[in-house]
């Protein structure tokens, strides 16, 4: 891969978060290896648009997906690269330094020469010169060609590399159901006599089930107050917001628990890699 240009670099949000956590929790600078997958793809150049010109020679794109890493303190030299496995291959290496410019150093060039026979992806992570509460790290990806570092764009994928195409084409859909919310007057007794009230109840029950998925029991009759000029408009709207905020809070807690489990699994995998590499 050293002589083949990398067209796209991807890393999952969980892997990047675990790497940033390792950089923050370490007592000093660290460096290590990056593992993952490389895929070659040939995009379809065909188009139905009459003004689109297509090339007769298909273009092959190389995508590198970072899935895991192995780290150790920077004052220890990088050990010999581990042999490739069936699940992940060596993509390159990374370096994490504190309060330094976001550009490769002379040491990085020396490391690139020593790893010239291996894949050439390099990820640099630094911290800002001024301590900040939110912005704590900066990172930049490169492809190393000899002692030349060519900057590359890195994409964070939250759904995994296999779902990247669906994630790019995602378009939100509002699940709020369409329903009749007109206020009914005294003619409801006539509807009972004609047997129409039963059909209305069934329709309202179906609408209510769809509405419960969005607002947790917010009744159709209460929803009608949001569409008029009644005095209870503000109170009903605030009640609806409270229920939706409750659902968002529940989802946030679920995401927090999931991230904790992902980090725990990443730490477990890291301990296994340390054990296999003989670094324990």
Residue where a domain stops, chosen among 142, 169, 196? 169
CB 32 within 8 A of CB 93: yes
Nearest Cα residue to 128 out of 92, 95, 101, 168: 101
Burial of 178 (0-12, 13-18, 19+ CB in 10 A): exposed
CB 174 within 8 A of CB 215: no
Residue 230 structural domain: 176-280
> Could you read off the pLDDT tens digit of each residue along the chain, which spans 280 residues?
545 688 889 998 888 989 999 998 888 899 999 998 888 877 665 555 556 555 555 577 888 999 889 999 988 888 887 776 666 788 999 999 998 889 999 888 888 888 766 668 999 999 888 776 676 789 999 998 877 899 999 988 875 445 545 444 445 454 555 555 554 555 555 555 555 666 666 676 676 666 566 655 556 566 666 655 554 556 666 777 777 788 888 888 888 888 888 888 888 888 888 888 776 6
59 phi-psi bin (left φ>0, alpha ψ -120 to 50, beta other): beta
Which residues touch 96 (CB under 8 Å, ≥6 apart)?
22, 23, 26, 29, 30, 31, 71, 74, 125, 126
What is the domain count for the chain?
Answer: 2
Residue where a domain stops, chosen among 109, 136, 169? 169
CATH number at residue 25: 3.40.140.10
102 phi-psi bin (left φ>0, alpha ψ -120 to 50, beta other): beta
Residue 27, both tokens = 């007592």
Residue where a domain stops, chosen among 152, 169, 186? 169
Q: Are residues 70 and 135 in the same domain?
A: yes
């Amino acid at each position: 891969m050293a002589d083949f240009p990398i067209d796209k670099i991807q890393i999952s949000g969980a892997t990047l978060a675990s790497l940033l956590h390792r950089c923050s929790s370490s007592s000093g600078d660290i460096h290590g290896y990056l593992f993952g997958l490389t895929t070659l793809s040939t995009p379809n150049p065909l188009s139905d648009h009459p003004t689109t010109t297509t090339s007769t020679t298909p273009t092959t794109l190389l995508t590198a997906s970072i899935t895991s890493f192995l780290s150790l303190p920077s004052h220890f030299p990088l050990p010999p690269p581990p042999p490739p496995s069936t699940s992940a291959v060596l993509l390159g290496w990374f370096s994490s330094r504190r309060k330094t410019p976001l550009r490769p150093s002379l040491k990085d060039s020396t490391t690139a020469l020593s790893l010239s026979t291996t894949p050439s992806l390099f990820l640099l992570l630094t911290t800002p010169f001024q301590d900040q509460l939110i912005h704590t790290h900066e990172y930049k990806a490169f492809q190393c060609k000899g002692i030349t570092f060519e900057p590359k764009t890195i994409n964070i994928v939250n759904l995994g590399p296999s779902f990247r195409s669906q994630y790019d084409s995602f378009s939100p859909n509002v699940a709020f159901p369409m329903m009749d919310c007109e206020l009914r007057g005294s003619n409801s007794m006539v509807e009972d006599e004609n047997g129409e009230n039963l059909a209305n109840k069934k329709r309202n029950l179906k609408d209510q089930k769809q509405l419960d998925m969005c607002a947790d029991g917010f009744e159709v009759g209460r929803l009608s107050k949001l569409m008029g000029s009644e005095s209870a408009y503000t109170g009903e709207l605030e009640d609806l917001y409270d229920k939706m905020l409750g659902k968002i809070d529940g989802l946030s807690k679920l995401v927090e628990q999931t991230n904790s489990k992902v980090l725990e699994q990443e730490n477990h995998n890291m301990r296994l890699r340390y054990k296999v590499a003989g670094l324990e």
